Structure 1
Amino acid sequence: MKAYELQSNGGIDALLLIDRPEPQLDYGLVLIRVRATSLNYRDLLVAEGAYGSGVKYPLIPLSDGAGEVVAVGEGVTRVKVGDRVAGIFFQGWIAGSLTRESMKSDLGGGIDGMLAEYVVLHQDGLVILPDHLSYVQGATLPCAAVTAWHALVSKGNIIEGNSVLLLGTGGVSTFALLFAKLYGARIILTSSSDEKLARAKDLGADETINYKLTPDWEKKVYELTNRTGVDHVVEVGGTGTLPQSLQAVRVGGRVSLIGVLSGRGSVIDPMPILFKSVTLQGIYVGSRKMFEAMNQAIQQYNLQPVIDRVFPFSEAKAAYHYLKGGAHFGKVVIEID
Structure 2
Amino acid sequence: MEVVNTVENFAPRVLAWFDLHGRKNLPWQKNKTPYRVWISEIMLQQTQVATVIPYYEKFMESFPDVYALANAKQDDVLAHWSGLGYYARARNMHKAANMLVDELDGEFPASVEGVCELPGIGRSTASAILSISRDVQAAILDGNVKRVLARFHAIATWPGEKKTENTMWDIAGYYMPNQRCGEYTQAMMDLGATLCTRSKPKCHECPLMDDCAGFATAEPTQFPISKPKKAAKPVKSAQFVVLKSSSKVLLEKRPASGIWGGLWSLPEFDSDASIILEAEQRFQCDTESVTVLSPFRHTFSHYHLDIAPSLISIANGVSFCVDESDKYRWFSMDESLELGLPAPVRRILESVERGDTLLI
For this structure pair, what is the TM-score category when the shorter chain's length is used for normalisation? under 0.3
Q: Which has the higher helix share?
A: 2
Q: How high is the TM-score relative to the length of structure 1?
A: 0.22
Q: Which has the higher strand share?
A: 1
Q: How high is the TM-score relative to the length of structure 2?
A: 0.21
**Considering only CA atoms, is the larger Rg found in Structure 1 or Structure 2?**
2
